[in-house]
Amino acid sequence: MIDEKFWNKYERNMSNPISRFFNRAEIREMEDEIRNANDFVSSYEADGLNMNSTKEYERNMAKIQQQESLLKRQAEIVGNSFMAPRAKSEGVGTELFNLEMERINFRNQYEHIIDYEAKTAETNDSLDYATELLSKEGLYLNAELYSATEVNDSRVKLVYESDLKGYIEKNFESTPSVAEIVSFAQEEKLWTKTPPDIQKEVLKELDKVDFAVEDVPFSYANYCSEFSEAENVPTVHVFNDANLPYETLSYNPEMNTWHGEKYEFNIPNPVNELQKIYNENKLSVGEIISIIEEPEMDDPSNDFMDEDQTLTGYDPDAPPNRIQAEALSEGWMWVEYPDGSGCLESPDGESYSSYEIHFDGNIEHQNLEDKHWELSIDGFSEFKNEVEQKMISKLGNQVAKSQSNEQSLVEAPVVEIRRNASAENGGLSASKDITR
């Protein structure tokens, strides 16, 4: 176990060449234990390029900090040892350098993760808004449309999967608007007037029909899939046991039957609700979309933002809060932005200890010494107090509130003494004029 007792013993063994010689076997064992601890801590869940969530980033950064703490303590002891072997010092220094490079890689990837999560959230909002908007007009998706953007993608990707077409994707240069999503789904014939539950019921019932034909291999075992709609006509595709389509069934609401385009199947409609939908609404998908007013197709971000602001008080357009630092002199301000970021700002406008508050309350910040990013698990008040005390140590007591506020406004008295002396009666007599 590596604790304070372990480090004290390691420091004694490393203190001078004599102790290093007689305790060399124990030193090797202790350094093996340090190395094993480093290896255990550095077993990151993902390398910097494959992280895909802020939670994963925070877990891995916490591990990097543990490893850094071990290496720094070892480097401090080795560095303070009398005539320490140069190779050992350089070895620990190299490990610390490599760890810092790893931290930088993780930090760079974190920027991509933040952008990825924002794009994904905005895309999902637009998808939800689009499906909700068109469902009010009686239109529904016949396949799941979802965001498949990856962390390092420069563009936003929407995809859906189809037994007929396979994996279909559409790339957008930026977060797609509601109108763009509706248009893409329309191009791919993903909109239908049939609700999802009736789509499933129709496919389930048609699956019970035997669509076997002599000239199609493997058609003895078949299934129905791909419910779609074009020009106000619902269609379903029939697949053989090799997952190959060989027939298309089209629905006729007047006859209430499904008709095979190639093999002349004529199947009575097994779900009565379907006929009601197409008898009552004669408009096609395109006609329904065309009558939706353009303002309703606007980006839903404002609607979601208003709702979010009502529930949480978050307003991304609000100006930052500027709060006087408690332990520092007047003009030192904590600048707190609505998104959870901020910094300590000096009276001349210079920024220190920039920080970001994560979703779990942990705080990632730049330290004052070398501006490397570190993760703090303390509360926000504790974090600010620690930074203010470090700032006092760094810049001196002139920035401390107690020092600046206790300057005396009363000047010390000036005492002027003038002496006139003359010898009289063998002695000295003096007159004093004291002015204050």
The predicted pLDDT at position 419 comes to 40
Q: At what angle do helices 54-80 and 86-136 cross, to 10 degrees?
A: 170
- Phi-psi bin for 288: left (phi > 0), alpha (psi -120 to 50), beta? alpha
CA distance 406 to 203: 83
Over residues 264-273, the pLDDT tens digits come to: 899 999 999 9
Query: In this structure, what token pair is assigned to residue 226?
Result: 């791909």
CA distance 108 to 102: 10
Over residues 20-61, the pLDDT tens digits come to: 888 889 988 988 888 887 775 555 555 555 667 777 777 777
pLDDT at 305 over 50: no
As a three-state string, the secondary structure of 87-112 is: HHHHHHHHHHHHHHHHHHHHHHHHHH
Q: Please state, as a whole number, how many other Cβ atoms lie within 10 Å of the Cβ of residue 130.
A: 25
Q: At what angle do helices 4-14 and 24-41 cross, to 10 degrees?
A: 140
Over residues 213-251, the pLDDT tens digits come to: 988 888 888 899 999 998 889 999 999 999 999 999 999
Over residues 358-393, the pLDDT tens digits come to: 766 778 888 888 777 887 867 888 899 999 998 888
> For 256-264, which contacts have Cβ atoms below 8 Å and span 24 or more sequence positions?
258/206, 260/211, 263/211, 263/213
> For 335-338, which contacts have Cβ atoms below 8 Å and span 24 or more sequence positions?
338/314
Residue closest to 178 by CA, chosen among 136, 122, 139: 122
CB 323 within 8 A of CB 333: yes
CA distance 39 to 135: 54
Residue with the larger pLDDT of the pair 125 and 154? 125
Q: Does the pTM of the predicted model rise above 0.85?
A: no
